[in-house]
Amino acid sequence: MKSARIPGPNKPLVVVDLETPKPQDNQVIVKVKAVGVCHSDLHLWEGGYDLGDGQFMKVTDRGVKYPVTPGHEIVGVVEEMGNSVKDYSKGDEVLVYPWIGCGECPACKVGNENLCDTPKSLGVFQDGGYSDFALVPHYKYLAKLSGVDPESATSLACSGLTAYNAIKKSNVNSPEYLVIIGAGGLGLMGVQIAHAITNAKIICVDLDDEKLKTAKEMGADYVVNSKDPETSQKIISICNDKGADSVVDFVNAPPTAKLGISVLRKRGNLVLVGLFGGSLELSLVTIPLKSITIQGAYTGNYNDMVELLDLTRKGTINPIITKRYTLSEANTALEDLKARKILGRAVINP
């Protein structure tokens, strides 16, 4: 099989010929039809995350081993199955749940494998979908598409799933005003999902007017370009001069997190999702005085992914795929994402 692999941090991806694995027991080989290109693939390519103050968190310290085949938004057809596989047959169109855990820690035991202490995620800690074929360790990580468009479905494994989990967290205080920062792959899904499952008025923030235009089409009530130095005041005045009840930050870099905190009203809820990184100084006393909640959100669990597939099948949400690449164009796909040239999501069709 052909796979586009990252040989090491900041090295161009190379397409290599590998032996297609033979599935054992509960394993399944999926012939990849489309795989989403996520900003997290870029962090993996760059070798880690910016911790701020010149510090860097290396993915190798978190258990990543290069060379690695990226790609965690995998859709394809069942090609071959181990002897113990049930419920699936060759040719079934499937979406793959990539956030695989150990199965034994407290998070895994309650079905939150995405929060496992020793994750084994596909396309991060084991080979993913920038490949003709992907080895899925157990058929329980598959979900049948049953009518959902394969390219649209790719988003549901990460960008949609993460946005769904984050928007649910932002919705616990029944927000009247919800600010969504970042209108990229995740943020545009966030806008659609918030429009579908909350009663909030949605304010979307980005640096790019074209992305903000799309956010408006997807259900944002207001859009603000944060190049404007008055962004914070503008948002507060939209929110009846009180501020936003909830903010979801799909960028999570110092300027956006600062903006999020500055527009949050009393009892407000800040959900940090993006991995752009950096660090921030907090004015500690405002947190108790305003009784603010700051929390993180990391992907979502298998059941959330199945719920999202249902919402997509009903047409409630409609992931936007605007660009397609071949496997040998994987470097270009990542460069284009880095240069902010991609609206919504791009996919690779191996």
Report whether 337 contacts 348 (CB < 8 A): no
Q: Which of 13, 32, 35, 38 binds Zn ion (CB under 5 A)?
A: 38
In the bound state with Zn ion, the residue whose beta carbon lies nearer, of 81 and 122, is 122
Torsion 295-298-304-308 (CA) sign: positive
The minimum distance between CB 188 and ligand NAD, in angstroms, equals 8
Stretch of 42-50, 152-160, 268-276, 327-335 contacting Zn ion, by CB under 5 A = 152-160
Choose the one of ligand NAD, Zn ion, none that binds residue 215, judging by a C-beta under 5 to 8 angstroms depending on kind. none
Q: Which stretch binds Zn ion (CB under 5 A): 6-14, 38-46, 199-207, 285-293?
A: 38-46
CB of 166 to ligand NAD, least distance (A): 8
- For residue 158, the minimal CB distance to ligand NAD (Å) is 5
Contacts to Zn ion from residues 89-148, by CB under 5 A: none
CB nearer to ligand NAD: give 184 or 350.
184
Residue nearer to ligand NAD on the CB measure, 268 or 319:
319
* Residue 215: CB minimum distance to ligand NAD, A: 9
- Given the rule CB under 6 A, which residues bind ligand NAD? 38-40, 43, 158-159, 162, 181-187, 205-208, 211, 226, 250-251, 253, 255-256, 273-276, 297-299, 337, 340
- Give the nearest distance from C-beta 211 to ligand NAD in angstroms: 5
Given the rule CB under 5 A, which residues bind Zn ion?
38, 40, 158
